[in-house]
Structure 1
Amino acid sequence: MARYHEVADALRERIAAGEMPPGDAVPSADRLAHEYDTGRDTTLKALKLLRREGLLVLGRDNIVRVGDAPRAAATADTVVDVPPHGVVRARMPTPWERDELGLADGVPVLVVRIGEDEEVHPATGTVMRWPAG
């Protein structure tokens, strides 16, 4: 396993355990590199990975903070029934959709298209259900 994955896993565990709650500032890359005995580039790569996952967000103050932890699919907020002729695709949200849906950076949306109509749902907290066939 690449070293940056190990650092990312360790930070994920700290976030999941509540040691780093949502909104908390993340220690600097230099401090984390010292703490995990890695190079700064390795630590930056781990932070970038966690930002893509939506666990970390860049605040308006340019400080990296812990984002809202994504919920597991088992605790879905929304279940979308997709009809047999429906099409689902994933994409990154527009800035307006990110604000409207309250999404963290790096969280994609699922677009359900039925004929000419489209529904946009956050990829976290949404389960797509197709009819048994």
Structure 2
Amino acid sequence: MPLLKYEQIADDLRSRVANGEFGPGDLLPSSRDLAEQWNVSRATVVKAYDVLRNDGVVVARQGAGFTVAETPVARPAGGRRADSARVSGAPYRRLGVPDRVVPPVQVREALGLGADQPALRRMRLVLMDDATPGTLVTAWFPLDIADAAPRLAKPGPITEGTTHYVRRETGRSPAEGVDVTTVRLATEEEARLLEVDRPAAVAVVLHVAYDQEGRPLVCEVGVTAAGVFEAIDRYPMR
């Protein structure tokens, strides 16, 4: 399905940010300029900027239009419903550098990998409002995705978000997500990164995103200390 005009504008701006034309804090083109450039109404451009704002790529500045977000945000694993917004995430720290290693068994099974087959691993620590550790997230990408989207292997953040970047590079986007939540004791490394004393209970969310053909795009494992884990689901009732 072809992208709508506002989606095309949003994707073009994402690409320009990703390619370094606009850096953190830079002022982006005005809605009037973009409306003339794309031959659309200013309302269409505003809708494009709303998409980017919900994705955490841009922020609105009173009286100054939109600028590129200076502080990247990330979400804990799971809860990636179609109407969820990345801007609802929190600041985070990248841990180490991306590497290719054999994942734990539950991740291998989720990605359909063989016993000795590696995947690309990216780790981040999502922070609480007071900058203390919140959730340790490890994202695992199948190598066909990692090879087609080489920036995944670089240590810096992907401002446009990995989902949009992967879609742009591979043409594949998430159509279904599966979240499985379990509880166990933290490992020594998890306890150190989450700054909790062992033994400590943690909630573990295993999130898998599948494309339109049912092929896995990514498996994320989010580990949160029991003392700060909270799951809220709001839904209509009859």
Question: What is the TM-score normalised by the length of structure 1?
Answer: 0.57
Shift of 1:15: 0.3
| Aligned equivalent of 1:3 | 5
Q: Are the equivalent residues in 1 in contact too, given 2:136–2:223 (CA < 8 A)?
A: no
| Aligned equivalent of 2:42 | 40
Choose the corresponding residue for 1:59, options 39, 53, 61: 61
- For 2:46 and 2:223, the matched residues in 1 are separated by 32
| Aligned equivalent of 1:80 | 136
Could you tell me which runs of 5 or more consecutive residues in structure 2 were left unpaired when the two chains were aligned.
Answer: 75-93, 95-120, 126-134, 138-181, 185-201, 206-221, 231-238
Query: How large is the Cα RMSD of the aligned pairs?
Result: 3.4
Q: CA, structure 1 residues 87+113, in 2 after alignment: closer, same or farther (shift >3 Å)?
A: farther
2:228 partner letter = E
Could you tell me which runs of 5 or more consecutive residues in structure 1 were left unpaired when the two chains were aligned.
Answer: 89-109, 121-133
Kindly indicate which of the two structures has a greater share of residues assigned to strand.
2
| Aligned equivalent of 2:228 | 118
- For 1:20 and 1:52, the matched residues in 2 are separated by 18
| Aligned equivalent of 1:49 | 51
The count of residues paired between Structure 1 and Structure 2 equals 97
Bigger-Rg structure (1/2): 2
2:123 partner letter = A
Mapping for residues 92-131 of structure 1, pairs under 5 Å: 112=224, 114=226, 117-118=227-228
1:80 partner letter = L
| Aligned equivalent of 1:16 | 18
Q: Which has the higher contact order (CA 8 A, sep 6+)?
A: 1
| Counterpart secondary structure, 1:64 | strand
